[in-house]
Amino acid sequence: MRLPIEPRHVAPRLATGAFILNSGMAKRGVGEQSALQLHGMATHAYPFLGRLRPSTFVRLLSVGEMALGAALLLPVVPTAVAGIGLTAFSAGLVGLYLRTPGMREEGSLRPTQEGTALAKDTWMLGIGVGFLVDEAARRVR
């Protein structure tokens, strides 16, 4: 039986999957102060998230990250499906970077020292889009 992933997708799926799964697992037991900080930053960029309690937001974020990380790590999940999830998730993180004051140098996309932690998430967006383009090109052939 052939797996629904290409050999060239293994390394980026392992790297992003492990990174995201670890991030989700680390958020499982965060305290109220950390939940308030994460929620506050997210609601500044995405005001609709303000309807959620900070603890609920962090719990949902944690579960979502663990699910996405697992989907990337499991070879039975097609790359197109994992790529959609990775692209959506990382686009949200890049949006957070672009919308949060102090993350970028004035009039530039270049990150400040504080923004580097969010700006680095652009690599995941590139991988997700790459998966989708690769899968679309494969289907055209």
pLDDT higher than threshold 80 for residue 58: yes
The pLDDT tens digits of the residues spanning 31-56 come to 999 999 999 999 999 999 999 999 99
Question: What is the model's pLDDT at position 59?
Answer: 97
Long-range interactions of 74-82: CB distance < 8 A, separation 24+ = 75/3, 75/4, 75/5, 75/10, 76/3, 76/4, 77/4, 78/4, 78/5, 78/135, 79/4, 79/5, 79/6, 79/9, 79/13, 79/131, 79/134, 79/135, 80/131, 80/132, 80/135, 82/13, 82/17, 82/131
Question: What is the model's pLDDT at position 5?
Answer: 86
Question: What is the model's pLDDT at position 67?
Answer: 98
The pLDDT tens digits of the residues spanning 65-121 come to 999 999 999 999 999 999 999 999 999 999 999 999 999 999 999 999 999 988 889
